[in-house]
Amino acid sequence: MITDRATLEDLLAGLLPDEAGRFGPYGGRFVPETLMAALTRLEDGIRDVFHSERFGHLLSAELVDWVGRPTALTRARTLGAEWGVELYLKREDLAHTGAHKINNAIGQALLARELGARRVVAETGAGQHGVAAAAACARVGVPCTVYMGAVDVQRQAPNVDRMRRLGAEVVAVETGDQTLRAAIDEAIRDWVSDPEGTYYMIGSAIGPHPYPYLVRELQAVIGREARAQMEGTVGLPDAVFACVGGGSNAIGLFHGFLDAPTVEIFGVEAGGRGEGLGEHAATVSRGRPGVLHGTYSRLLYDDDGQIQETHSVSAGLDYPGVGPEHAFLADIGRVTYFAVSDDEALDALDRCCRAEGILPALESAHALAGARRWARENPGARVLVGLSGRGDKDMPILTALGGRP
């Protein structure tokens, strides 16, 4: 049906997404007509403002002075020894507000202001993008409304208070599955109601073109830094791991290494508590092509095309879609995607706390668990894991789950 061919070489040459916003067959722009003009304006804004030298300076300065970049690369000696590999962590948990989400939020907030937006709307799952959006909007002086599924409002309560304190209006979404997907539905409805004055700040590398491109460009700083930090010390890793929800931290990290043929790259998805539809959120590894939230990518849906509810202990991975570039990278075989279970992630989180004194986000714990699995087959390898965020926000759920201490 949709058969456009594209290759890794096209991607590395900067040709993807193409004019139609496609990565091979994936991507595009599947939105109500009301939003088409807004997307065209955003595309123009990316070309004229985002790519300007002045904006580049503005953003770089904010990334250094306000976000606290570059983030550290930490050698995880104890955990690495335990797993039999040489392990490095790219510490996005040290970025302002505690996750990689801030890289995207500050970039889009600056862009929104430059494009004259009266207000920003955003969605959030774990609350990390919501907090980042609230903070970035406060920083640049644009009002911010955050949509959050009612289930997530419950399980990530500390982040709701943080968003409000940072001046954002938080709206609990009671419709649909009441998680990230319903929050995106509702944020899009808000945007549809005022496409001229409202800027939609999407939180992952998903959505209609040009969002997957914009978010990737803003998160690519993770991979650029990590590559320079590794090459400047020990050399390239043998394998790179990142967790994949919508796929923003992963695409940012991966882009630093896609052109290095010796580096194996792995996207780790949420395997939840089982293999059946509804029990996991392993979109790339278990989904099928379809359209949701403006993009053609891999998705979890039933035989009637209805999007399925997902399950993950990690709210930030609890999403039935994934960025179109990941579907492309999976198809061309450059990145391998697989899922780890809730239990594996919780166990890896526990080990990372004890061994390294770092409490990772539940999302990031999936990347650790994926690396641990691979390490068993590849003793002695040099492994880089994207630690996308810190786990402070997960304390209520970790406490509720019991176990240690």
Partner 1 sequence: MIEPRQAIQQAIEGSEGPAVVAYLTAGHPDPDRFLADLDAVASAADVVEVGVPFSDPMADGVTIQRASHAAISKGVSLRWILARLRERATGPGAPVLLMSYLNPLLVHGYERLADEAALAGVAGFIVPDLPLEESEPLRSALERNGLALVQLVTPATRAERVRTLAAASSGFVYAVTRTGTTGSGALAADLAGYLGMVKAASDLPVCAGFGVRSREQVAEIGRHADGVIVGSALVEVLERGEDPAAFLSGLRP
Ligand X SMILES: Cc1ncc(COP(=O)(O)O)c(C=O)c1O
Catalytic residues: 101, 123, 388
Whichever of 179 and 388 has its CB closer to ligand X, that residue is 388
192's contact among partner 1, ligand X, none, with CB below 5 to 8 A by partner kind, is: partner 1
Place of tokens 């780790």: 268
* Nearest approach, Cβ of residue 48 and ligand X (Å): 27
Lay out the site mask for ligand X across 92-131 (x = CB under 6 A, - = otherwise).
Answer: -------x-x-----------------------xx-xx--
The residue type of 310 is: T
Helix (H) or strand (E) holding 98: none
Stretch that binds partner 1, among 23-31, 140-148, 265-273, 372-380 (CB under 8 A): 23-31
The runs of H, that is alpha helices, within 194-255 are 211-231, 248-254
| Interface with partner 1, residue 150, by CB under 8 A | no
Using alpha carbons only, give the angle 115, 121, 223 rounded to the nearest 5 degrees: 75
Whichever of 210 and 389 has its CB closer to ligand X, that residue is 389
Using alpha carbons only, give the angle 290, 295, 90 rounded to the nearest 5 degrees: 105
Structure tokens at 233: 């010390």
- Indicate the SS3 state at residue 25: coil
Whichever of 3 and 262 has its CB closer to partner 1, that residue is 3
| Interface with ligand X, residue 244, by CB under 6 A | yes
- Indicate the SS3 state at residue 209: coil
| Interface with partner 1, residue 75, by CB under 8 A | no
- Pick out residues in 246-285 that bind ligand X (CB under 6 A): 246-250
Q: Which of 62, 152, 185, 363 binds partner 1 (CB under 8 A)?
A: 185
- Pick out residues in 168-207 that bind ligand X (CB under 6 A): 204
Whichever of 99 and 183 has its CB closer to ligand X, that residue is 99
SS (H, E, C) 21-37: CEECCEECCCCCHHHHH
| Interface with ligand X, residue 222, by CB under 6 A | no
Structure tokens at 235: 């050399």
Lay out the site mask for ligand X across 283-322 (x = CB under 6 A, - = otherwise).
Answer: ---------------------------------xx-----
Helix (H) or strand (E) holding 58: helix 53-62
* Nearest approach, Cβ of residue 217 and partner 1 (Å): 22
377's contact among ligand X, partner 1, none, with CB below 5 to 8 A by partner kind, is: none
| Interface with partner 1, residue 119, by CB under 8 A | no
Torsion of CA 192, 194, 197, 203, to 10 degrees: -30
The answer to whether residues 56 and 37 touch, using CB atoms and an 8 Å cutoff, is: no
Torsion angles phi and psi, residue 301, rounded to 5: -145, 165
| Interface with ligand X, residue 361, by CB under 6 A | yes
Task: Calculate the alpha carbon distances from 335 to 69, 258, 295 in Å.
Answer: 27, 9, 20
23's contact among ligand X, partner 1, none, with CB below 5 to 8 A by partner kind, is: none
